[in-house]
Structure 1
Amino acid sequence: MPRQLVVKNTILFKSKSFVAVWIGNVISELGGTLGTFCLSILVYQETGSPLALGSMWLFYFLPSLLLQLGIGPFIDKWSRKWLMIFSQWTRGLIFCVPVLALSFQSLEVWHLYIVQVIVGLITPIYTPANHAILPTLLHGELLLKANAMIDGPVRLMTFLAPIAAGNLLEYIGETLMLLIVVSLYVFSGSLLLFVKEKKEDVLVRRTWLSQFKLGISTFYKQKNLLWLGIFLAFVQFGVGATMVLNLPFITGDLGASFKEYGYFVASFPLGYVIGSSIVGFITYKSKRILLLSALAVGGLTYVSLSITTSLTVAIFTEIIAGVALAVFGAHNIAIFQKVVPNQMLGSIMSVRLLILRGVMPLGILFASTLSEVVEIRPLFFLIGFIIFSSAVIGLVLPYFSFLDGEDVEEKVA
Structure 2
Amino acid sequence: MTSQRHHHTLLTKQNNTRQKRIWDLLRHLPTFMFRFLRLLSFVFFLLPAFVVFLYHYFACDRIAVYYGLKGAIGENGERMWLSRHYLDMYGSRTHVNGNKEKKPVVIFLTGGAWIIGYRMWGCLLARALVPFGILVIIPDYRNFPKVNIKGMVDDVDMSIQWVLDHVEEYGGDGKRVVLVGQSAGAHIGGVVVAKKVLDWIRQQQQQQSYQRSEGSNEEDCRHLKSTYSPQQLCGFITTSSPHNLVTMRSVFHRHGLSASVQRSIFGGISGSNDYDDDLNDDTIKSVATSDDMDVFEAWSPYHLVKKCQSEYITLTSEGTTNRSSSSNNNESIDQLKDIFPKLCVIHGTADKTVPVEEAIEFLSLLSNLQIPALSKMYPGWSHTDPILEKPMLGNHLYHRDIYELVRLWTG
TM-score class, shorter-chain normalisation, is under 0.3
Larger CA Rg, structure 1 vs 2: 2
Q: Which has the higher strand share?
A: 2
Q: TM-score of the superposition, structure 1-length normalised?
A: 0.26
Q: TM-score of the superposition, structure 2-length normalised?
A: 0.26
User: Greater relative contact order (Cα 8 A, min sep 6): structure 1 or 2?
Assistant: 1
Q: Which has the higher helix share?
A: 1
